[in-house]
Amino acid sequence: MYSDNGGNHGTKLPEWAPRDGGAEYASRVMSGVRSSHDGMEAAAPGLDKQAQTKRRGLSIDEYVSGILSGDRTILSRAITLVESNSEAHFETARQVVKEILPRTGRSVRVGITGVPGAGKSTFIDALGTMLCGSGHKVAVLAVDPSSRVTKGSILGDKTRMENLSRHKNAFIRPSPSGGTLGGLTRKSRETMLLCEAAGHDVILVETVGVGQSEAAVRDMVDFFLLMVLTGAGDELQGIKKGVMELADAILVNKADGNNLLRASTTRAEYDRILHYLRPATEGWTTRAYTCSAAEGTGVRDIWDVVTDFMANVKSSGVCGERRRQQTLSWVYRMVEDYLKQKFYRSPAVARERNHIEGSVVSGKLSATEAASELIRLYEGL
Ligand SMILES: Nc1nc2c(ncn2[C@@H]2O[C@H](COP(=O)(O)OP(=O)(O)O)[C@@H](O)[C@H]2O)c(=O)[nH]1
Ligand SMILES: [Mg+2]
């Protein structure tokens, strides 16, 4: 089916890679921090000997063969490796991802966004359980830039996905913590590839509608689903048009009980608005649907929409082209992240920044002059 050459894994980490873990590109090369994740070589002291042995570092071959054979423990450990901010893990992670790359790309990648409480996790639980039941292997990932602050969503997701988490065909991975959105999406992208190599043929990525996370997730999936709640007029306007334009389907959830009628009114209203928007995917008409994630109604219908969509975009070549573009934009995003950090960390820039900003704010320097001056400082001219 589709190959995903997954970005720039074949390139050695450049010597100049920044070392500050707070920033996105560097999130994997930060020095001086030992991972406290499970499964890593840097096991916490105090573990008994057996656990220590169990947690010894795996070789690249062990990682690769473990992942390819669908070993969940090894898959988890490989993801931990990819998520690690420790420089010591970077080279192994890079090698592992490079090795598994030819076995990736054979999945349906679905992103699900919506405000907290819309019912995304409940929906994923229902959809995932249905798919696992019919023989699919489902991986659920989360991209949640807010989870570091609230720490709530991980717990929430685990309890919401109770059925799915018990299924042998399911693999659920909460949002990696720490780092910026760029760091999170890089980790999630690589995690997605690892899951595909482990045989997961459906990848569901849950994200909350904060910041730019929707756009970032749109950029790693084939099908993007916007989950909304019932509500007329004002609430509807609250949904950013920009987000609706990213969606391949809008799903009005909680169409149950005495909310049924309102749900279908809301659905019609979304359909009306969609009519005036640019569709997210060439050759595909985005429509609104209703479902009840809690009761399971409409869940199969949405999967039929996804299946239809995939058939459509595969035969038209839109899917392959989108994936190629996604891979390329991933490459350049990493380059941009790097350049941005290099600029802000430049000692000359850091030294003069406050002064230059002051001059702009007080009107002594135009914005253009200030930008030129900062670039001149950065370039050491
Ligand atoms: N009535 C009803 N409640 C739902 C439905 N789906 C989710 N909920 C409830 O809405 C709340 C938020 O659900 P959750 O899946 O955690 O939302 P998320 O934040 O979007 O992941 C929970 O209390 C769910 O039980 C539904 O289809 N119908
Ligand atoms: Mg959730």
Q: Residues 36-54: pLDDT tens digits?
A: 333 333 444 444 544 544 5
Least confident of 14-23, 252-261, 297-306: 14-23
- Give distance in angstroms: CA of 279 to centre of ligand 1: 27
Question: Do residues 234 and 164 both lie within one domain?
Answer: yes
Q: Give 327-351 pLDDT, tens digit per residue.
A: 998 888 888 888 888 999 999 999 9
Question: Is residue 265 domain-shared with residue 303, that is, in the same domain?
Answer: yes
* CB of 118 shorter than 6 A to ligand 1: yes
What is the spatial distance between Cα 9 and Cα 121, in angstroms, rounded to a whole number? 31
**Among 122, 123, 160, which is best to mutate for testing ligand 1, by the most ligand atoms less than 8 A from CB?**
122
The alpha carbon of 254 and the centre of ligand 1 are apart by a number of angstroms equal to 7
Q: Of 181 and 165, which is predicted with more confidence?
A: 165
Most confident stretch, 81-90, 225-234, 259-268: 259-268
pLDDT band at 75 (very low <50, low <70, confident <90, very high): very high
Q: Ligand 1 atom 23: the closest Cα is on which residue?
A: 117
Task: CATH number of the domain at 309, please.
Answer: 3.40.50.300
Q: Are residues 259 and 352 in the same domain?
A: no
Residue 137 has pLDDT above 70, yes or no: yes
Residues 245 and 374 occupy one common structural domain: no
Q: Note whether 245 and 369 are same-domain residues.
A: no
In short, whether 119's Cβ falls inside 6 Å of ligand 1 is yes
Give 78 Cα–ligand 2 centroid separation in angstroms: 24
The pLDDT assigned to 150 comes to: 54
- Whether 113 is in the pocket of ligand 1, judged by its Cβ within 6 Å, is no
CA atoms within 13 A of residue 172's CA, in its CB half-sphere: 23
| pLDDT confidence bin for 226, thresholds 50/70/90 | very high
| Structural domain includes residue 81 | no
Confidence at residue 13, expressed as pLDDT on a 0 to 100 scale: 37
The more confidently predicted of residues 76 and 84 is 76
Same domain, 154 and 231: yes
What letter represents residue 83's amino acid? E
What pLDDT is recorded for position 35? Answer: 35
Token reading at 114 = 């919506």
Q: How far is the CA of 98 from the centre of ligand 2 (A)?
A: 31
In-domain check, residue 124: yes
Q: Which atom of ligand 1 is nearest to the CA of 114?
A: 20
Q: Are 221 and 110 members of one domain?
A: yes
Ligand of minimum distance to the alpha carbon of 160: 1
What local confidence, expressed as pLDDT, does residue 237 receive?
Answer: 57
The per-residue pLDDT for 350 is 94
How many domains in the chain?
2
Residues 322 and 351 in one domain: no
- The pLDDT, as a whole number, for residue 349 is 95
Per the domain annotation, does 234 fall within a domain?
Answer: yes
Segment 59-82 shows an average pLDDT of 96
Stated pTM of the model: 0.81
In a domain, 68, yes or no: no
Residue 235 counted as domain residue: yes
Please give the pLDDT value at position 148.
57
Q: Is residue 303 part of a domain?
A: yes
Kindly state whether residue 51 falls inside one of the protein's structural domains: no
**pLDDT confidence band for 262 (50 / 70 / 90):** very high
Dist. CA 294 → ligand 1 center (Å): 7
In 10 A of CB 14, how many CB atoms? Answer: 9
Closest listed residue to residue 321, CA positions, set 242, 247, 222? 222
State the residue range of the domain holding 110: 103-329
Number of neighbours of residue 12 by Cβ within 10 angstroms? 9
Contact 218, 245 (CB under 8 A): no
- Kindly tell me if the per-residue pLDDT of 85 is higher than 50: yes
The residue-averaged pLDDT of 135-141 equals 97
- Are 292 and 360 contained in the same domain? no
The pLDDT of residue 300 is above 60: yes
C-alpha 90/C-alpha 27 separation (Å) is 10
> How far are the Cα atoms of 9, 101, 278 from residue 95, in angstroms, in the given order?
8, 10, 40
Q: In what order do the strands lie in the sheet with 202-207?
A: 170-173, 138-143, 202-207, 108-113, 223-228, 249-252, 287-290
Cβ-Cβ contacts under 8 Å for 65 (sequence gap 6 or more): none
pLDDT band of residue 238 (cuts 50, 70, 90) is: low
| Average pLDDT score over the chain | 83
If asked whether residues 310 and 354 sit together in one domain, one would say no
**SS3 annotation, the chain:** CCCCCCCCCCCCCCCCCCCCCCCCHHHHCCCCCCCCCCCCCCCCCCCCHHHHHHCCCCCHHHHHHHHHCCCHHHHHHHHHHHHCCCHHHHHHHHHHHHHHHHHCCCCEEEEEECCCCCCHHHHHHHHHHHHHHCCCCEEEEEECCCHHHHCHHHHHHHHHCHHHHCCCCEEEECCCCCCCHHHHHHHHHHHHHHHHHCCCCEEEEEECCCCCHHHHHHCCCCEEEEEECCCCCHHHHHCCHHHHCCCCEEEECCCCHHHHHHHHHHHHHHHHHHCCCCCCCCCCCCEEEECECCCCECHHHHHHHHHHHHHHHHHHCHHHHHHHHHHHHHHHHHHHHHHHHHHHHCHHHHHHHHHHHHHHHCCCCCHHHHHHHHHHHHCCC
On whether both 204 and 129 belong to a single domain, the answer is: yes
Considering the domain boundaries, does residue 265 fall inside one? yes
Q: How many other CB atoms are found less than 10 A from the CB of residue 118? A: 22
Same domain, 241 and 353: no
